[in-house]
């Protein structure tokens, strides 16, 4: 299979995993915030659950990564910690600082961050191991 075709298949599978996880996460976010949970806390809790859930699907199905799970999981967590920092900073700036509606900001983040995560997973988290073993 050509590299372009493989990437397209990965992108499609990544999209399926992401859409399912984010749709459920966004609905749970709306429920939790409607029940009185602070938006940043709701986002944080759902973010952690989503990271664990999507690692399994993306490792096995999206990228068909045959490497060891431990190093890939550490890279995955690091990538998502950076993403969390971006989410948190934007939530605090746009909601807390500028007063934008938290529902719209969260929806924008749910729609905007996937490209960052796809590239990070394809070329770092689940990339083929370099000669001499896996780093990190």
pLDDT in tens, 17-32: 988 988 999 999 999 9
Give residue limits of the domains in the chain: 3-125
Q: How far apart are CA 90 and CA 10, in angstroms?
A: 28
**For residue 1, what pLDDT is reported?**
84
Q: Which of 7-16, 49-58, 80-89, 111-120 has the highest mean pLDDT?
A: 7-16
pLDDT above 70 covers what percent of the chain? Answer: 95
Q: How far apart are CA 13 and CA 57, in angstroms?
A: 9
pLDDT in tens, 34-49: 999 999 899 889 988 8
pLDDT in tens, 66-112: 988 899 999 999 998 999 899 899 999 999 999 999 999 989 998 88
**For residue 104, what pLDDT is reported?**
95
Q: How far apart are CA 133 and CA 100, in angstroms?
A: 47
């Amino acid at each position: 299979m050509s590299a372009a075709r493989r990437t397209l298949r990965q992108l499609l599978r990544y999209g399926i995993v992401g859409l399912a996880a984010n749709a459920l996460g966004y609905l749970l976010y709306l429920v939790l915030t409607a029940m009185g949970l602070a938006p940043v806390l709701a986002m944080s809790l759902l973010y952690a659950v989503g990271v664990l859930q999507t690692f399994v699907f993306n490792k096995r199905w999206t990228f068909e990564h045959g490497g060891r799970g431990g190093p890939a999981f550490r890279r995955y967590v690091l990538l998502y910690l950076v993403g969390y920092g971006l989410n948190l900073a934007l939530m605090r700036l746009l909601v807390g600082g500028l007063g934008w509606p938290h529902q719209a900001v969260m929806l924008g983040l749910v729609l905007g961050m996937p490209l960052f995560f796809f590239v990070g997973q394809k070329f770092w988290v689940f990339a083929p191991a370099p000669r001499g073993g896996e780093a990190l």
